[in-house]
Structure 1
Amino acid sequence: MSRDTLHSMEFDALALSVASPEVIKEWSFGEVSKPETINYRTQKPEKAGLFAEEIFGPTKDWECYCGKYKKIRYKGIVCDKCGVEVTHSLVRRERMGHIELASPVAHIWFLRSIPSKIGLVLDISIQNLEKVIYFASFIITSVNEEEKKQALDGLKDEYKTTRKELEKQFATEPKVLEEKIVALDEDVALVQEELKDIKMMNIVSEHRYQELSFRYGHMFEASIGAGAIRDLLKKLNLPKTIESLEKQIVKSKGAKRDRLVRRVKLLSSLNQNSIKPEWMVLTAIPVIPPDLRPMVALDGGRFATSDLNDLYRRVINRNNRLARLLALNAPEVICRNERRMLQEAVDALIDNNARSAKTVTASTGQKRKLRSLADILKGKQGRFRQNLLGKRVDYSGRSVIVVGPNLKIHECGLPKRMALELFKPFVMSEIIKRELAHNVRSASRYIESNAPEVWDILEDLTSKTRVFLNRAPTLHRLGIQAFKPKLIEGKAIQLHPLVTPAFNADFDGDQMAVHLPLTEEAKWEAEHIMASEKNLLKPATGQPIITPQ
């Protein structure tokens, strides 16, 4: 998708969905198959590596990797020698790659969320799911019910005939007969128990699986790892399952009913949004653009790199090793171990904190956890709260709050210097209007001269407007309110003590942000809707929120 289409697209909402393997490949501009990043001799990206130019775009504007095409006149040409498109280097911020996995891998967010989404879809506990996915136990994926029924019928017939024979043989020795019948009953019970174990979705240990497959291998199929879970998810018929569960809900009660309701909700959501359950198990992994996980050259020929590159490198190394072992027909036990390691590498890439025992630390010797994709998004320092919601904006400031006991409830104390910086363009405009200066530059110098007229103008401007005060995190609408500013000396914002409960603020070092309403609509809202004296009740309960603490 080009930048132009992105900018021209009009949309009303964003929907989060599960990406299918096909969609992941559509996003991708090429497969990343090598763990290398940059060639240490040439300082250029390695081919098919994590920074490859033929996948992610050129590192220099309008120049291909081999240098055959240079300058903007070759725009859009793909070099026949090195395969790099001649375009703007900014595409390295938006072009993605992908890694084709040699074995399916469960997505840890769907596995370890509470409740586990994969577990809820298949109706398996998270403990059993983890046993299968991390190669500790097998799961039965298909059972030949006809064969099983025949075996049970045959067992009953055999039991009857054997018992008759024993009764004939030991008719004169009742004690021996009793012992023989008890032994026969035990044997039959054992076989029945084994046959009972052979049912769909049943979890069996490796030792038990070996025993069962030796005797009843023709009757069932069992598998291990995320591949087994993917096969089960693929077999699931969503509409039929939802229908049968809805019938069960009518008959059931209590905790069982609650679980069924939760399951139906999840399955219905998947069905309505055309999400196939098997997409929760990954067969390809997207590789985010290289400029979002940069590699920076330091003095002395060393490099500083994003943690994501280390995590991607682990995935690629293990994936390539597994592919090589599978091609060599290596013993099952070795392949299984490599599959488990690949699963753990992908887990660490997506969310390094999800499995506390298996966190990946930096290779520099410190015990620092690597920042995974989830860590980059979540929390106070994450992309959403730090960069998207916490953007620096013009006409704003922040400072520590202190109590202002002699303020009115609709007032806040605004430090003079901060107010001057906030209202600077308006003050300059007023200075030019009053002919105290003739242009913007001289007005700016006039402000710096600290003339008494400047403070008079500021006083005049602040008396006519309100400012917004916001305390992060803004968890409800009263987290941001409008106040009349009162110019004060010092550097701290003064706040009326009664409005602190609405902001969940206290005076032990909390900071608050000040914003200026600029448009007429914003000024009207500040005056009539967001004014602190008009927000005396909690919106959630209607209880008073302006109460002494």
Structure 2
Amino acid sequence: MAVHLPLTNEAQAEARDLMLASHGILKPATGDPVAIPSHDISLGCYYLTSVEEKSKGEGKFFSSYDEAILANENGVVGLRTKIKLLLPAEPNSDKRAEIIETTVGRVIFNKALPKGHSFINKTLTKPDLKYIESDIWDEYGEDITVYFLDAIKDLGFYYATRSGISWGMDDLRIPAEKGEIIKEADKLIEDNRQLYEDGLLTEHERRSKAIEIWNTAKSKLSVFVKKQLGPNDPAFIMVDSKSRGNWSVLDQMMGMRGTFANPAGELIELPVRNSLKEGHTPLEYFISTHGARKGLVDTALKTASAGYLTRRLVDVAQDVVITEEDCKDKEGYTLYAEDIKFSGEPLGRRVKGRVVLDDVAGSDGEVIVKRGKIVDKEAAKKIDAVKIEKIKIRSVIKCKSLNGICRLCYGYDLSKNTVVEIGEAVGIITAQAIGEPGTQLTMRTFHTGGVTGGADITMGLPRVEEIFEARPPQFKALVAEVDGKVLAIQEKGKQRAVTIEAAETGEKRDYLISPNLAMAVNPGDIVSKGQQLSEGHVDFKELFKTTDSIDVVARYIIREVQSIYFPTGDSINDKYIELIVRQMFARVRVADPGDTDFLSGDVVERRRMMQEAEKMRAEKKREATFEQLLLGITKVSLSTESFLSAASFQETARVLIDSAIVGKEDYLRGLKENVIIGRLIPAGTGLKREFEE
């Protein structure tokens, strides 16, 4: 790897102010801490704050932190012994002095917290440390958080060493019940085979029943695996503190490894009965190599496609920069509480850092956030507490800024948790926020050694690509074209027919659907235009044609993308997906050019169409009429006004020839075209300099 040395004063200032590790505490994709204590540090903190029952000096009373620590140093009480401690009253608060039950270890941990922080009295796991860090950031700011992380690092390493936690083969005990469970499964498999031979089951049913029997056996066994380990077992401590590994790994080490998938992704019905501790027979070893190899091959192949997706996202969003304070948009975009099932995030957390368009009030009428104000952490908590159904917010999808977008439609810069600065290159940040977990997603199978049940994103990454490229999906779902009522669902030959009566006209429409797809509606249901009638993925070009609503399509795209990233533990803030949706809707096709210079059928940037319309109105001439397009990200990148940007992306010769024929000019508005010709990019200080000039 190269070593970069900042030479000029500007470069040194940039390294100090922007690149220093202590300025990168929060993750721009979510606004959560990314510098999180883990591994040995979280193991040490878990040990320090855990409780040892019936140990030396239990139940003794202490009047202060120092007194308790002194007693421990002199061997009067143990580090993890239950003690009674007097917590003094907090100045400037209603909290009175009280006696609590805690341990000396917890007292030591609380001494590392910033002054004024409430006493934390629980056994701490890795996620707990992350939440504490997040609270400290919100309450005390960056500098104090950095000192806290340093203190936790020292504490964690010191007590991980002091604990003497290490483990050997004998710490993994195989449950005595294993033989019985395997015997029972073998009998069920034999019965299953007999049914098949008697002609009562098809081959497919026999196979899936066999796999189900072994999966049930494995989960029965995993219950006993958990019972084998006590709270003082090193393996239990490592998993329970979330420092390393998980129960699935321990199931494989102590229980049984279970069924594996072959390279084609089908399950091999012969299970690996042995655990890793017992060792494998040659056949079991051979079966398990399938999964292991698939993990490595997947990683090698998919990293490339994740990288390519990131490149296309960067290309489509690179010219989106924050250019003004407020675009005065009144339309907005609505977020719904019910979408929690897709992104796993409650409404309050999703609106945090966004500007609301209407007053947000609870059921008692109390206003939580006034219109035009930003939702902060406290307001977000209140919104979740009062269970509001939907909130209208300012969104980049509707931002009226012609060049770039405005601060209020974007909201918080998540890496600082303050309103975004003018000049921030939010397009690039967006592309990285969506692309980076993509690279993570591809590597996910790798960890569980290919045991089935490990989430393989082969479903995920190609689907994300399919969405952003606006391709027709492989399994197309049926969509209602009218508001109305489902009258009947009948079998017609080899297909199923869904009859819907339109609410306005009373006209009856039949929709034909493959019998393999499950229905999402029942006879008698009321359906709305654009509603999904069957399982499968909606083709959102059709959805847009049916509903003619950018909001409906945007909500569908956001839900789909979130439902792919969320199960793998990578969350992405909605605003990033919104920004890509804005770019997908950034082109229009000229229908009637009016008095403009456009030609009928031209695909132009929406921004340019708006500028021309303004010009025509000022000159009292005829405006052009246009049709809104929904394009995939590659098409959008290639149809940009900047021929330098398009040519450096793909199909270079074609782009240059087409541009030369019409004598195109490049106004150097985006970042790429400025990089190509060696100018400062119009973002950050470069944008301010452009304004001054």
- When normalised by structure 2's length, the TM-score is 0.20
Q: Identify the structure with bigger relative contact order (alpha carbons < 8 Å, sequence gap 6+).
A: 1
Report the TM-score when normalising by structure 1: 0.24
